[in-house]
Amino acid sequence: MFYVFEVIDKTKRKIRLTNKQWRHIKKEHADISNKFEDIEETLINPSIIRRSEDDHNISFYYQYFKNIKINEKYLVVVVKYLNGKGFIITSFYTDKIKGLK
């Protein structure tokens, strides 16, 4: 499996973005297809991290961007943890924070 990048997040866990998921993000969320560095920064220094209400293996990393010209102000990076390893599922802009504290 090939990785676009691998970072250590704010909680000191390793998170990877695979080529497959990067293609998904660029296709389904074209507004962030050129925001590669923002995705990394959101993992390294998020405004807030929340756990999924439905799946305790999924976390939402949020970063607030005040200069966005759209209604959605937060970049969210959705990460799933499998066997202690984090993998990005998707990333997109949103105006709402969800998940458990």
pLDDT tens, 7-31? 999 999 999 999 999 999 999 988 8
The two tokens of residue 41 are 């920064």
Is 99 within a domain? no
Q: Is the pLDDT of residue 95 over 70?
A: yes
CATH code for position 83:
3.30.2310
pLDDT tens, 26-85? 999 888 888 889 999 999 999 999 999 999 999 999 998 776 566 668 999 999 999 888
CA 56 to each of CA 14, 30, 40, 68, 96: distance values in angstroms, whole numbers, following the listed order = 17, 28, 22, 30, 20
Give the structural domain span for 15: 3-94
Contact present, 15 and 88 (Cβ < 8 Å): yes
Give the whole-angstrom CA distance, residue 10 versus residue 34: 23
**What is the per-residue pLDDT for 1?**
64
- Whole-model pTM over 0.85: yes
Tally of domains in the chain: 1
